[in-house]
Amino acid sequence: MDRKRVFSGLQPTGNVHVGNYLGALRNWVRLQDDYDCIYCIVDLHAMTGDYDVAAFAEERRNAARVLIACGVDPARSLFYYQSEVPQHTELAWILGTMTGVGQLSRMTQYKDKAKGSEARLGLLAYPVLMAADILLYRAHAVPVGDDQKQHLELTRDLAIRFNSRFGDEFPVPDPIIPEHGDRIMSLQNPTAKMSKSDPDEGSRILVLDPPDVIRAKVKRAVTDSGSGVRYDWEEKPGVSNLLEIMSLFSGASIPALEAEYGSSGYGKFKEAVAEAVIVGLAPIRAAYEALDDAAVEASMRRHAAAARDKAEEYQLRVRQRVGLAG
Ligand code: TYM
């Protein structure tokens, strides 16, 4: 029987952090066992604000290497740069003709990012391109963190709208969101999510951070008043975030960690958190060092060619449905 299809993407701006890893990438890697997976460095999505061209080109290449180091396996999954498969943007245009501007302007991420700056069309249209990424390959499931839920809802709406207007073409995709780790918070402000765009480097742990940097960042992490180590997002968001991170890296349950560190004081607890993260990330750092940029780029090219062939077959059907063929 054909395996179900999974699609997901990651923006190459900034460096991959443990929020990306725990919220999404761990699922990307696991799902490769049971699904037909297609993964993308969504470089076009990363162009909606001002950026430095040379740094962007470098981050884009590096993101591919980091993701392979995390376990995205080009021997089992298609993995390429979004911009090298133009069918993504073609489908985005078609879906855009069916998307209300009102619905787009109500998206939380748009409202957050458009704040204070002159809003651009690319930022507003961003979720339509994301819907096109997913629907292009008729994906059934999309592993993401909690912050992408709303964009997935729009994708589902667009699939349903297209199907009822032009005939059944797209499966309505489901998000795959982990029960824990779906929303890793900033180390400096545990009420905001950990983000690539936060100007404070100390707010996030990168998957490639060396051990001494991880120790320093965890040591500086904001904790809460009092000294008890307790999982309680209302009273102790900083400690709860660290408990969650430690539990996900070590495999120990949160109650077990509460029992072990409950009264040990923040200093000792933070040392243990840092060690768990260091041990968890060590294989990724080692895999990253062992990879070769030229080999990664060659794989990305090959996979883009394969993805274009696949995408073109699917797009032929869309063109026929909407009256652009024949
Ligand atoms: P991006 O690049 O911001 O993030 C990549 C993935 O990491 C998850 N994530 C988090 N999970 C838990 N805690 C956090 N603090 C955290 N920060 C980020 C995100 O939810 C995401 O799954 N719009 C998408 C990229 C995209 C996409 C797609 C995703 C474009 N097309 C198609 C799925 C399918 C984004 O900006 O992700």
Sorted by where each starts, the structural domains of the chain and their CATH numbers stand as 5-182+292-322 (3.40.50.620), 201-288 (1.10.240.10)
Q: DSSP label at 5?
A: E
Residue among 11, 20, 48 whose CB has most ligand 1 atoms within 8 A, to mutate = 20
State yes or no: is 236 an active-site residue: no
pTM score, whole prediction: 0.96
State yes or no: is 149 an active-site residue: no
Strands (E), the chain: 5-10, 36-41, 78-81, 141-143, 174-176
**Distance from the CA of 284 to the center of ligand 1, in angstroms?**
19
Residues of the chain with pLDDT > 70, as a percent, come to 99
The answer, yes or no, to whether residue 326 has pLDDT greater than 80, is no
The one catalytic residue among 4, 111, 149, 193: 193
The answer, yes or no, to whether residue 172 has pLDDT greater than 70, is yes
The answer, yes or no, to whether residue 117 has pLDDT greater than 70, is no
**Distance from the CA of 129 to the center of ligand 1, in angstroms?**
14
The answer, yes or no, to whether residue 13 has pLDDT greater than 90, is no
Nearest CA to ligand 1 atom 31: 130
Strand arrangement, sheet containing 174-176: 78-81, 36-41, 5-10, 141-143, 174-176
State yes or no: is 111 an active-site residue: no
Please give the angle made by the CA atoms of 228, 267 and 260, to the nearest 5 degrees.
55
Find which of 1-5, 55-59, 111-115 is predicted with most confidence, using mean pLDDT. Answer: 55-59
Residues belonging to the chain: 326
How confident is the model at residue 119, as a pLDDT?
83
Pocket around ligand 1 at a 6 A CB cut-off: 7-11, 19-20, 23-24, 42, 45, 130, 133-134, 142, 144-145, 147-148, 151, 182-184, 193-194
The answer, yes or no, to whether residue 151 has pLDDT greater than 90, is yes
Nearest to 21, CA basis, from 287, 260, 215, 231: 287
CA 193, CA 311: separation in Å to the nearest integer? 34
The answer, yes or no, to whether residue 144 has pLDDT greater than 90, is yes
Banded pLDDT at 116 (limits 50, 70, 90): low
pLDDT in tens, 214-264: 999 999 999 988 889 999 999 999 999 999 999 999 999 999 999 999 999
Mean pLDDT of the chain: 96
